[in-house]
Amino acid sequence: MKIRIEHAQCVGNARCHAVAEHLYPLNDDGYIAIDGFEVADGEEKLARNGARACPERIIFVIEDDGEQSWPPSKA
């Protein structure tokens, strides 16, 4: 599983960081400091919860099959 982050769209709510600070580090200004990462085994639930905590929905969960599972697709 991978996490992709639209870094430029972060507004600094830091809710992802509040859920999983070691997965979602912040820069000195309080914005997400990374563009994404590979999720380690056993941290999938925490990574998903951090992504779902973002009110701007700029954190994307990409499953191993390449499908995006979060945020939901607009149909």
**Res 73: pLDDT:** 80
Total number of domains constituting the chain: 1
pLDDT tens for each residue of 47-70: 999 999 999 999 999 999 999 999
Q: Is residue 75 part of a domain?
A: no
Write the CA distances from 56 to 15, 19, 23, 42, 64, integer angstroms: 10, 15, 18, 26, 24
**Tokens 């000195």 sit at which residue?**
28
pLDDT of residue 14: 97
Residue 22 covered by a domain: yes
Domain that holds residue 30: 2-70
| CATH of residue 53 | 3.30.70.20
Q: Is residue 9 a part of any domain in this protein?
A: yes
1 has a pLDDT exceeding 90: yes
